[in-house]
Amino acid sequence: EAGVAQSPRYKIIEKRQSVAFWCNPISGHATLYWYQQILGQGPKLLIQFQNNGVVDDSQLPKDRFSAERLKGVDSTLKIQPAKLEDSAVYLCASSLDGVYDYEQYFGPGTRLTVT
Amino acid sequence: AQSVTQPDIHITVSEGASLELRCNYSYGATPYLFWYVQSPGQGLQLLLKYFSGDTLVQGIKGFEAEFKRSQSSFNLRKPSVHWSDAAEYFCAVGSSGGYQKVTFGTGTKLQVIP
Within 13 Å of residue A60, how many CA atoms lie on the same side as its CB? Answer: 23
Determine the Cα–Cα distance for residues B98 and A87; give it in Å rounded to an integer: 32
Q: Do B90 and A42 touch (CB under 8 A)?
A: yes
What's the pLDDT score for residue A100?
Answer: 64
Is residue B65 over pLDDT 90? yes
Is residue A112 over pLDDT 80? yes
| Averaged pLDDT, B70-77 | 96
Q: Do A48 and B4 touch (CB under 8 A)?
A: no
> What is the DSSP-derived secondary structure letter of residue B30?
P
- Minimal C-alpha gap between A109 and chain B (Å): 6
| pLDDT tens per residue, range A20-60 | 999 999 999 999 999 999 998 999 999 999 988 999 999 99
| Averaged pLDDT, A69-97 | 94
User: Which chain B residue lies closest to A109 (C-alpha atoms)?
Assistant: B43
Across chain A, mean pLDDT equals 93
Q: Which of B23, B44, B57 to mutate to test the interface with A (most CBs of A within 10 A)?
A: B44
Out of A7-21, B13-27, B44-58, least confident range: B44-58
Q: Provide, as residue numbers in chain A, all residues whose Cβ is less than 8 Å from the Cβ of B107.
A: 40-42
Task: Calculate the CA A15 to chain-centre distance.
Answer: 19
What's the pLDDT score for residue A25?
Answer: 96
What's the pLDDT score for residue A98?
Answer: 66
Determine the Cα–Cα distance for residues A52 and B82; give it in Å rounded to an integer: 42
DSSP H or E stretch at residue A24? strand A19-24
Out of A27-36, A105-114, B32-41, B92-101, least confident range: B92-101
What's the pLDDT score for residue B43?
Answer: 84
Is residue B31 over pLDDT 90? no
Is residue B99 over pLDDT 80? no
**Cβ under 8 Å to A: B residues 24-43:** 32, 34, 36, 41-43
Out of A32-41, B1-10, B37-46, B80-89, least confident range: B37-46
Q: Do B4 and A93 touch (CB under 8 A)?
A: no
What's the pLDDT score for residue A69?
Answer: 95
Q: Do A103 and B101 touch (CB under 8 A)?
A: no
- Minimal C-alpha gap between A78 and chain B (Å): 20
Is residue B63 over pLDDT 80? yes
What's the pLDDT score for residue A52?
Answer: 86
Is residue B98 over pLDDT 90? no
- Minimal C-alpha gap between A12 and chain B (Å): 16
| Averaged pLDDT, B59-87 | 96
Q: Among A31, A48, A107, select the one facing B43 at the smallest CB separation.
A: A107
What's the pLDDT score for residue B51?
Answer: 86
Non-local CB neighbours of B23 within 8 Å, separated by 6+ positions = B4, B5, B6, B33, B35, B65, B73, B74, B75, B76, B91, B105
Task: Calculate the CA B8 to chain-centre distance.
Answer: 12
